[in-house]
Amino acid sequence: RRRAAADRRGRVVRRLALAGLLLTLTACAPGGCQQTGAPETGDPGPVEEPLAGDPDPAAPAGPETPPAPEPVSWPHEPGGGLYPGSGSGATDATLWAAGMRFPIEAAPAYANSQVYGYGGYLAPGPGGQCDARNYAYPWRDNFCETRSWTNGMCPAGRGHQGQDIRPATCEKKVHSAVAAENGRITSIGSYTVTLLGDSGRIYRYLHLDMAGVRALFPTSASRDVTRGQHLGKVSADFGGNATTIHLHFEIKAPVAAGGGAATVMFVPTYSSLVDSYGRLLNSAS
């Protein structure tokens, strides 16, 4: 009897202990069971995982995408708009040298007339070639300006065969002329450098420092050039004749006329210069 009573007491104690432990650990409600006991030290409790695609609230915000820069432009007159009284310009707007490199290495540069500009022999008024008005926008075309040279693209059949471009400052042997495209220097004269481009177009650069040009290209083996390569410094060399500090730049290309065979001739440079200078200003030379 004593053993049976002890067994009953033991079973009661174990049932009470188990009930107390369960009450301590959990309390179940209709919506589920929650922990009622104190969490262990450092236990953060349940963590809700974000859904796929939700932003992580702890992640730092990324940088905003900057807006695209506005294209850089500059004041320039339309092609064919020559100085009043300087002749009739070519209104052909063909981009004869699409994609070419602007022929002066760095901006700014000023396309205008060295004859009808200040300091030229047909200047509009007093002032020397370094007059600030020559080194300012707007640009102005001077292809077909009145000259005696043959030019089949001009209304008169004669006229200026290229475009005058002043560099950033009125200084000789400072500003570099560069190759308009890959090609080869085919001629170095007394004041003219001729580049035959891989495209078949011919580019002529006049009034560079010719001693410097010959130092850059001492032999025929050295005359293969790449787009943007230095060809010489803008100066005023003119075979002993007087001129202003500027680059006279020409393009020759095949032109088909009347359905016949194409003839290589001087073509309007202005539209190609506007295109290439715009890309230079926008850092896409």
Q: For the chain, what are the domain ranges?
A: 110-281
Dist CA 234 CA 208 (whole Å): 5
Given a cut of 60, whether residue 199 has pLDDT beyond it is yes
Cis bond before residue 66 (omega within 30° of 0): no
Tokens representing residue 25 in the block: 């650990």
Residue 157 burial by CB count (10 A; 0-12/13-18/19+): exposed, middle or buried? Answer: exposed
Residues 251-275, mean pLDDT to the nearest whole number: 93
Asked if 101 contacts 179 with a C-beta cutoff of 8 angstroms, the reply is yes
- Highest mean pLDDT out of 1-15, 23-37, 91-105, 249-263: 91-105
The DSSP letter of residue 47 is: -
Neighbours of 158 (CB within 10 A): 16
* pLDDT greater than 80 at residue 237: yes
Reported pTM: 0.76
Taking the C-alpha atoms of residue 51 and residue 244, their distance in angstroms, rounded to an integer, is: 73
Q: Is the pLDDT of residue 240 over 90?
A: yes
Q: pLDDT band at 72, cuts 50/70/90?
A: confident
Mean pLDDT confidence for 44-66 = 51
Looking at the predicted structure, is the pLDDT value of residue 196 above 70? yes
Structure tokens that stand for 281 in this block: 């200003």
Residue 11: per-residue pLDDT: 54
Asked if residues 163 and 273 have their Cβ atoms less than 8 Å apart, the reply is yes
Tokens of 256: 């088909």
Share of the chain above pLDDT 70, in %: 75
**Stretch 244-248: mean pLDDT, rounded?**
98
- Six-digit token string for 132: 């600030």
Q: What is the pLDDT of residue 45?
A: 46
115, 134 Cβ separation under 8 angstroms: no
Q: Indicate whether 51 pLDDT > 50.
A: no
In this predicted structure, what is the pLDDT of residue 7? 54
| pLDDT: which is higher, 31 or 135 | 135
- pLDDT of 68 reads 62
- According to CATH, the topology of domain 110-281 is Glucose Permease (Domain IIA) (2.70.70)
